[in-house]
Structure 1
Amino acid sequence: MRRLSETEVRAAVRGGVSRDGEISRPLENDATAIKCFGCGQMEYRAREVCRCGYYLRGQLEAERQRNADDYLSRERNRFNQLRKRRNISLVAFILALFLGGLYVTGNLTMIGDTLARYAFLVSVVFVFGSLKIIRELERQMVELSKRLN
């Protein structure tokens, strides 16, 4: 095995190249490296063709497409979760309005005056809290739908 020059040793210590004598091959844990499907060796992402002749650009394009598909599926899942959270907030909003309506019409006094007032205050808090949450969730859904389209 040949002796490495000082610059090659510095580059190897820095982690940019392998130490097995092939100075131009990257290490496996290098962010700029990709494993060639043709020969199984590591190669730089900037190269279009591996040294074995395998076309790396198609490999990179397939990886980018896979990443884009993963991103879209994550965003769609997030959109569905936001829609479910909004529906839950709408249910809480409707129940709070119903409870407040019962208090205002006087039909809630059968459980006791103090408890009825407490239930009314809770319903008011739920109404305004639910409205705030619903607005925020709808804003996020609009942003997300713009990104997905």
Structure 2
Amino acid sequence: MNKTITVEVKRRPILTLNGPRPRVEPVPALQPATPKRPHPKKDMEAFATTFVGVDPINPMPLAIGSHTEILAQCAAQLGWSKKRTRAALGFYAGRPSYLWATLEATHRINLDGSEAQPISDADRAYAKARIAAFNGKGRDQ
């Protein structure tokens, strides 16, 4: 007994590179969750226009405690956050030119440009140590 079995086979389509291509929808670009803050170096111009005593080209040591006034004025006048203001202030006061000014100046200055308290020997020693850390040795060594 031979039985004939009939099976229906569907033909699969032939894939070629010349045929119509399926339409692919573009994926929208991902947006960052929060916008990036500008580099603190870019904030130096705003510092110079807001505070008379802050000069990015020829920095002078700021009076002790002036950071509280800077934080308040930057929030009120420039709309900066505390984090952005601290970053810009740290960039300004941590530069070698500011540290050299601490070594060479006799007095600190207020934000209005007037003379404040004299620079202590401990502040000079700290500035000298920071300069040494920047380039491996101090200017006079």
What is the TM-score when the length of structure 1 is the normalising length? Answer: 0.25
> Computing the radius of gyration over CA atoms, which structure comes out larger, 1 or 2?
2
| More helix per residue | 1
Q: Which has the higher contact order (CA 8 A, sep 6+)?
A: 2
